Amino acid sequence: MNVPILIARRYFRSKNKRNIITIISNISMIGVAVGTMALIIVLSVFNGLEDLVRTLYGKSDPNLVISATKGKAFDVDRTFLMKLENTPGVALLTEVIEDNALLQYHDRQMVVKMRGLSDNYFGQSQIDANIREGDHRLRRDSLELALVGAGVQHELSITLNNRLAPMRLLYPRNTPGKKTLDFNPENAFNEQNLTAGGVFLIEQHIDDSYIFVPLTFAQRLLGYGTRRTALYVKVGQSFEIEKVKGELRNLLGPDFKVQDSDEQHVSLFKAIKVEKLFVFITFTLILLIASLNIFFSLSMLVIDKKKDISVLLAMGASQKTVRRTFLYVGAIVALVGAATGLILGVTLCWLQQRFGFVSMGMATSVVDAYPVKMQASDLIFTCVSIIVITLAVSIRPALNASKLDLRENL
């Protein structure tokens, strides 16, 4: 029989409901339960938002992106491309040219991100499922077409498949040996016309600034020739992305970067993780404040049970036994509150995942309800935090109890 646990359970189950100590203990349990529940829910919402971002970008992001470590573009030739295509795990290789360009339509204009793509791009992207209007193809027979973001279309009021009024794209002309821009508009810019064939709706940042064009069109307008700003890699289904990424890095050396989807948006995911960390710290401090009631209730319990402690010491109990008894009382109060909070938090998160009863409240949101995803690591960190906080607030009253003078209380 574990005497400290037995005594701690009896103190915890005290039937004297009028005892102020019991009332404070109950308040402590409620505070810990509410704090734990809130922490689980908020962390799960951050996990859901992180997954939502991955899903949104995953619709247009390739599995891997190869780019230059220094500079904006790099030269490619057929030998270089074949070497990459023959790498185990590389199912598809897409050539990409991306740069800023001035887009004019009628009397309106804006600077856009123009992404030139080789014809096999839609073999590795799900963007065709995000076409809001028109067609996803960039080429119909010999006719070159553009895919424009929904925000770009709205800003310029672009009409699809209007060959009589095509879009006009301009890019500064790079004259060899000349570093300044020619002030004569006819000589200063390369100019190409292009018809919009479709509108995509992926994510606001992309929708408001990007247009997709055929690679050959981008080559003519930008004058890139054999240079490319990136190569998109689709990894075969039976291969692991991390393994293929490592092989490509070894093959290409330090002059090239090979990035997976998370690394392509590292700043965004880092911001989400930093916000999640600060939320965790904030709610842990709230749990600490709620747990201070445990300190006060244990301190009052020590005063109330002086005679019990003296009897235990007289019967031969050690100071360690007395100290453990009151530590167990604090632990029981905290763990009952934490267990209740965990059950409520997990239940509410499950209900939100299943039924989505808390909506985003916006008609234009990409999802109807707040995204939620529970992770075992969050539950573990929450439990560890509660244990540390419980020890911190319980150890002082327990030490005071073990140091009581036997002669004063008998």
Phi (first) and psi of residue 407, to 5 degrees: -70, -25
Model confidence at 124, pLDDT cuts 50, 70, 90, reads: confident
As given in the structure block, the two tokens for residue 329 are 């009382």
Residues 292-317: what's their mean pLDDT?
A: 75
pLDDT at 167: 93
Residues 11-19: what's their mean pLDDT?
A: 60
Please name the amino acid found at residue 141.
D
Flag whether pLDDT at 318 surpasses 90. no
**Between the CA of residue 175 and those of 23, 169, 181, 198, 350, what are the distances in Å?**
83, 18, 9, 34, 61
Pick the residue with more confidence: 71 or 409? 71
pLDDT at 409: 47
Model confidence pLDDT, tens digit, residues 19-76: 676 777 778 888 888 888 989 999 999 898 888 888 777 667 888 999 999 888 999 9
Flag whether pLDDT at 313 surpasses 50. yes
Model confidence pLDDT, tens digit, residues 131-186: 888 888 888 888 899 999 999 999 999 999 888 889 999 998 765 444 455 555 56
Alpha-carbon gap, residue 175 to 188, rounded angstroms: 9
Lowest mean pLDDT among 18-27, 127-136, 234-243, 319-328: 18-27
pLDDT at 404: 59
Pick the residue with more confidence: 242 or 306? 242
pLDDT at 15: 53
pLDDT at 151: 92
235 with 64: CB under 8 angstroms?
Answer: yes
pLDDT at 410: 44
- Of 29, 102, 96, the C-alpha closest to 68 is 96
10 with 321: CB under 8 angstroms?
Answer: no
pLDDT at 100: 93
Model confidence pLDDT, tens digit, residues 79-114: 999 999 899 999 999 999 999 999 999 889 999 999
Flag whether pLDDT at 246 surpasses 60. yes
pLDDT at 146: 93
Lowest mean pLDDT among 58-67, 121-130, 332-341, 376-385: 121-130
| pTM of structure | 0.72
Alpha-carbon gap, residue 72 to 318, rounded angstroms: 73
Pick the residue with more confidence: 376 or 364? 376
pLDDT at 407: 44
Mean pLDDT of the chain: 83
pLDDT at 95: 92
Cα atoms in the 13 Å half-sphere on the side-chain side of 141: 0
pLDDT at 67: 92
Flag whether pLDDT at 272 surpasses 80. yes
Model confidence pLDDT, tens digit, residues 376-390: 888 888 888 888 888
pLDDT at 51: 86
The fraction of the chain above a pLDDT of 90, given in percent, is 28
- Of 11, 37, 18, the C-alpha closest to 346 is 37
Model confidence at 212, pLDDT cuts 50, 70, 90, reads: very high
